[in-house]
Structure 1
Amino acid sequence: MTARFEFYERACAGVTWRLLSSNNRDLGRSGVGFADVDACLRAVDEVRAAAGEAEPVIHRVSRLAWAWRLEAGPGAVAVASRAYQRRVQAQTACDLFLRLAVEAPVNTDVRQARA
């Protein structure tokens, strides 16, 4: 099995997406929630379309941690799912996300997210 997009519903955020690796590791996610599955699916399409031109931004989240986000248009279309100890790890994770997101299938079944 390859990486795949999955949708989650959160009571406070609506429907969000995550890109999961073949071993279920969270590789990246939407930075915002969407009103419904259709809007979330359009957001995944936007990530795929922006993969070649989005601006990866590697940034500090604390004194000892780094993260990434992809910016296209007015804001982030994807964000890191966790913080990394080194800048190079965040960059490598972003590169992997970009490489896998373009071809990853979408599972539109909506799961209930844990709080």
Structure 2
Amino acid sequence: MKRDPRFQLVQTGPDRVHWRLLGANNVSLGAAAQDFARVDDCLTAVGWLCVHLDEPVAEFAHASGGRWRWRLRVAAGPIAVATHAYGRRIEAQRGLERFHAAVAAADTAREVETIADWRTKHRANSRLTP
């Protein structure tokens, strides 16, 4: 079953949430550059991004190991980042283009799903207690 691109909220802590954008194939295309204390603030950031998608400036960074990542920035700071690294800069540029297309196509009128970050849960469960 093919799904439309959509935003998803990820609960990363008791008072921390961020958004990520999933493509039609459920692959993460990008995420918020920061966590938010409130769900409403996170949803406001999603709404702002959808309306002002042409305003942020794209930056490409060459990370260690020869991997490329993109980031969208406004004057106040970064607002969106690639959720994975790319082997070549051209692939990072294409990933950013897919992100832009998915933001434009995402249905923000439907209810946004919220999930718990499994990595946070795994880390909490794996801690040794004295």
Equivalenced residue count is 115
Q: What do residues 4-42 of structure 1 show as CA deviations (whole Å, max 9, x unaligned)?
A: 000010117701111001111000001111112110101
Contact 1:65–1:86 (CA<8 Å) still a contact in 2?
yes
Runs of 4+ in 1 over 3 A off after TM superposition: none
TM-score (norm 2): 0.81
Q: RCO higher in 1 or 2 (8 Å CA, sep ≥ 6)?
A: 1
> Alpha carbons of 1:3 and 1:12: their partners in 2 closer, same or farther (altered >3 Å)?
same
More helix per residue: 2
Greater strand fraction, Structure 1 or Structure 2: 1
Quote the residue 2:47 is aligned against. 45
What is the identity percentage for the equivalent residue pairs of Structure 1 and Structure 2? 32
Q: How far is 1:105 from its partner?
A: 2.1
- Based on CA coordinates, which of the two structures has the bigger radius of gyration? 2
Unaligned residue ranges in structure 2 (runs of 5+): 120-130
Note the residue ranges of structure 1 that are not aligned, 5 or more in a row. Answer: none
SS at match of 2:37: coil
Choose which of 4, 7, 20 in structure 1 pairs with 2:6.
Answer: 4
Structure 1 window deviating more from structure 2 (103-112 vs 2-11): it is: 103-112
What is the aligned counterpart of 2:18 among 13, 16, 19?
16
Secondary structure class of the residue paired with 2:43? helix
2:6 and 2:70 map into 1 onto residues whose CA distance is: 19
